[in-house]
Amino acid sequence: MKLPGLVINFQRRCVDIEATVCHAALLLLGANNGNPAMSKPVDAQGERWVHLPPRGDPVGVYLVFEDKDGKMIEHPISDFVARPEKRPDEFAGDEGRGDEEEGKFPNTFLFAGSQLRHNGPGPRTYLADVSGSVISIVTFGDELPCLPGMHSKDNEALMWQIGATTLPKVGSKVTLRLRPRVKAASTTPKASPKD
């Protein structure tokens, strides 16, 4: 299925995004959205709050671009992000590193699904559409896909940098691919029990 700026490939079970994100695309491939990290009041007065971690089905994030022979190759996003050589000591116990390998950026995000915001009597909008947060490596609370755990947005807490040596040349056409990691629905009819 091809939409403007977006291709949903049911056979390869992925979403290719050229320009804009369609929130429903991952849902069409069977991914279940959860929520970004957020805080919710647990009492009517709003004096007690509970912090909810991000949740949702896992989604692999990839970049697809031509190699030197002109063949389109899929690369995990982790190939293009690296830890800075010098990190402040406070990163050592950073909450939310989860199952990341030491020193390797994760390739799996969670399909958090952003949050819907009321616009008065009109239709609700996704916060990600307003803020521009689509795929985030820090916790803003409005991401579509996000990293597991909580990740600070403070400059002194940033843990990643662009791996510039692995990026394609400036001006290269690149496709962002999201691949939900959910089991495909069975298309084979079940055999009926014999009498």
Residues counted in the chain: 195
What whole-number distance in Å separates Cα of residue 142 and Cα of residue 154?
A: 17
DSSP string, 126-174: EHHHHH--SSBSS--S--SEE-SS----SGGG---EE-GGGSPPTT---
**Residues facing 146 on adjacent strands:** 110, 136
List per-residue pLDDT tens for the chain, 195 residues long. 766 677 888 888 888 876 434 577 788 788 888 888 888 888 888 788 888 889 999 999 998 999 889 999 999 999 988 877 665 444 444 444 444 455 678 888 998 888 777 777 877 777 777 777 778 888 888 888 888 887 777 766 667 778 777 788 877 888 888 899 876 555 444 444 444
DSSP string, 10-75: TTTTEEEESS---THHHHHTTPPEEE-SEEEESSTTS--EEEEPPEE-EEEEEEEEE-TTS-EEEE
Count the neighbouring beta carbons within 10 Å of the beta carbon of residue 5. 12
pLDDT of residue 14: 86
Residue type, 28: L
> Residues 6 or more apart from 35 whose CB is under 8 A from it?
52, 54, 55, 56, 112, 113, 115
CB 157 within 8 A of CB 81: no
Residue type, 1: M
Buried b (16+ CB within 10 A) or exposed e, 76-89: bbbebbbbeeeeee
H or E stretch covering 129: helix 127-131
DSSP 8-state symbol, 144: S
Instruction: Look up the pTM and report it.
Output: 0.69
pLDDT of residue 156: 65
Domain boundaries, the chain: 2-180
H or E stretch covering 176: strand 175-180
pLDDT of residue 17: 73
